[in-house]
Chains A and B, each alone.
Chain A
Amino acid sequence: MKYNLELIKNKRKIISFSTFLILLSLLGILYSTFNTSYKKPINLGMDFVGGNELRIERVCEEECSNLSPDSVLENLREISSSKNFINNIKLQFQNNNKLISIRTPYLSIEESNNLITNLDNIIGPLNYESKDSRLIGPKLGKRLLTNCVTSLLVSLFAISLYITIRFDKKYALFALLALFHDLLIVFGIFSWLGIILSVEVNSLFAVSLLTIAGYSVNDTVVIFDRIRENLKLKKEDYNETIQLSVNESFRRTTFTSITTLIPLLSIILFGSYSLFWFSLALSLGIIVGSYSSILLAPSLLLKD
């Protein structure tokens, strides 16, 4: 089974496609920064801004009765008096009305307990064994954000350093270009997800970006290694050799990506909900990463 990717012919298409994706991502980031209620490049979740998140299941005989979030909010309003609190509350029913999830501004443990008691009165009985509650103070949120951004920068710097030492300048530059391309696109996709579906990013998103960075460079390194090896033998001309090398390593690069994607898909399908967006970000990163390693990075190496 030989692969025959026509890299030389399609160089323009590949580069235009990537440019298009990058512009789309930048558009999302800009739109998110200026045209949304949160005014940030990406919809920052509770980890970074603080707040209270509660998920709890109701105990129902057979099927849980249908409740509209508005009527529950109305009831909560009568019980709790703080205006700021009631105005910023988000409430959702999931799983056939069984699971209720609530987001509010930051609460003390005492206030959060009161909220749960109130809920129990309105829509109870609740199953306390199924409770998942997170309270994050705004101070800690800011700290986490700085922490994540620092980790991201430090690790990008370390990877860049490693690549520059290991390869000569041209290879290092293109490998890094491919890396930033991957990160930007995943970031852009989540900007858009934030705008359209109000998906929020938490600290695990930063972790996924870091993991993508490590993994994506890895893929590019494998292909560049092959190119260097083949160029030393110098059988054909420069461009042909690059195309040949890509085709030679196509199988193993796609295969390694597939075997990494399979476990991630298992987490998306079967794993806990708290890992859903994390695994999705990682999967997207790996898909974009393989694309950029196989098609984009080598195309950049081609001579006109």
Chain B
Amino acid sequence: MKRRQGWLFFIIFLLTLSVYLLINYPLQLGLDLQGGSQLTLQIIKEEGKVTSDELEAVNSVIDKRVNNLGVSESNLQTLGGDQLILELPGEQNPLVASRVLGKTALLEFRTQKEGTSSDLKTLQLQRLSIKELIEQYSFEEKNQNNDNFLKVIQDDLKDIEQELNYSSTSNDLYGKLIEIKKYVDKEITNLFIKTDLSGKDLINAGRRQEQTNSNWEVLLTFSNSGGEKFAEITKSIAGTNQLLAIILDGESISEASVGNQFASTGITGGSATISGNFSAENARELEVQLKGGSLPLPIEIVETNTIGALLGSKNILKSLYAAISGLIFVGIFMIFNYRILGFVSVLSLVLYGFFNLALYSLIPVTLTLPGISGLILSIGMAVDANILIFERIREELYEGNTLTRSIDSGFQRANSSIVDGHITTLLSCFVLFLLGTNFVKGFAATLGIGVLISLFTSLNCSKTILRFFTTYQSLRQKNLYLPKNNFSN
């Protein structure tokens, strides 16, 4: 008796603790419940597996970029060795994040090969016309394009292709335009020779509006050694007709000459500006990318989920309805069939609910929609154990055993088959948790935790509550445990 009372106090203690935990450490809600965006970034590596060092390096660059973007409460985690998951809660547009994160942002400084001046001039002109064509195309597209204009663009494109002696392979016009632009960019880059100065030599980046017009420029600050390299490079081409190109991800974003006055020392002071017709937005994005450094491996955004805040709160409400109605109907079913035993199982179900939620906030488990469905499903499974026990107790009672004895042996004999039966479900949960995606893991975690806790609540808690009830004489009549009509025969 004393031991049982000990259990009772222990259970009350756990319940108090759970309530305390839930009040002080609120549950973490997934994006499908609070609204927000989730981006899955895949690291691209042509050969071999992504090593953990590489993953770490990509992770840290992305992390810096996300922080510099000023996204609030974002969460970045790695998944499966070569993926990263970025969560942006609330109404934040994933578009900017995707543009900034998706680029490798490899910054190079190159000097022009000697004797390529005229080649470069032609290519620069071609680049200008292709850029204009792309702008025209976007403009026409927005304004319900008519076929005449498209034809003009097409003809112009053909002229450029002939000049370049290159024909594009894309199917649609826009794809062709982009393809040709890439080709021109590559040709321009090829006219320049690599130097040992790169984005790695930067210690900071900034932006400011140009004084003469409304365009923006990006400021680069070199490290000491970077400053020296920059001075050396500029010195080598100062006064010649060779240009210095700043190349980002294979595309030259600025080509500038270095004046004769720098011929003796080069450009000193350890800083440079890129002024390539940046809009405020573009300048900011480049600043963020340069500050974070370039990615050691390219990444691709392979999945984006966005859920509105209103939909999120609707999802919470719907899940709540489902969980509560599930609980109520299971409760009615149990009390109808098992009388006082059913009531006991309802009490232990309530305890089960509290313990589960408390554990979620303790571990912590982030609640998502699949997670909630795991929880709701585990309500049903938690009662399973009670049913197995209660059926045993009924059998014992039918056989004419006393109440206390029936209860004791009911719990004892059902014990092994309950533990056994839960093992297969736990096995499935375990595999799901190991191999599943983020989405699936939530379900596996809540269902698995649920099954484990239900072993405690349906075995120990129900037993303790039942024992407590049977200490009252008025609650010990057999007909409170068995339906009357059945008991009579």
Contacts and interface: CB of A to CB of B under 8 A. Distances in A.
B: interface residue count bin: 35 or more
Interface in A247-274: 251-252, 255-256, 258-267, 269-272, 274
Residue from A112, A134, A135, A263 whose CB has the most chain B CB atoms within 10 Å:
A263
B141 A222 contact: no
B310 interface: yes
Interface in A148-178: 150-151, 154-155, 158-159, 162, 166
A83 B429 CA distance: 44
Contact of B436 (A78, A151, A159, A259): A151
Interface in B417-467: 417, 420-429, 431-432, 434-437, 439-440, 443-444, 447
Interface string A229-244: 0000000000000000
Contacts of A151: 431-432, 434-436
Nearest to A157: B431
Contacts of A269: 322, 325
B326 A262 contact: yes
A225 B427 contact: no
Given A127-B310, A140-B302, A158 B377 contact: no
B420 A134 contact: no
A260 B381 contact: yes
Contacts, number: 227
B428 A274 contact: no
Contacts of A140: 40, 42, 302-303
Contact of B377 (A79, A113, A204, A260): A260
Contact of A261 (B91, B309, B380): B380
Given A211-B377, A225-B417, A271 B425 contact: no
Interface string A84-119: 100000000000000000000000111011000000
B330 interface: yes
B379 A263 contact: yes
A211 B387 CA distance: 20
A131 interface: yes
Interface residues of A, number: 74
Given A218-B425, A275-B370, A129 B308 contact: yes
A204 B370 CA distance: 8
Contact of B141 (A81, A112, A263): A81
B310 to A, nearest CB: 4
A137 B102 CA distance: 14
Given A131-B307, A259-B383, A278-B373, A222 B425 contact: no
Contacts of A225: 417, 420
A128 B379 contact: no
Nearest 5 Cβ contacts at the A-B interface: A263-B326, A129-B310, A260-B380, A214-B428, A137-B302
Given A134-B303, A211-B377, 17 more contacts: A108-B98, A113-B93, A130-B308, A132-B311, A137-B42, A139-B300, A204-B439, A206-B440, A210-B428, A214-B426, A214-B428, A263-B323, A263-B330, A266-B376, A267-B326, A271-B321, A274-B369
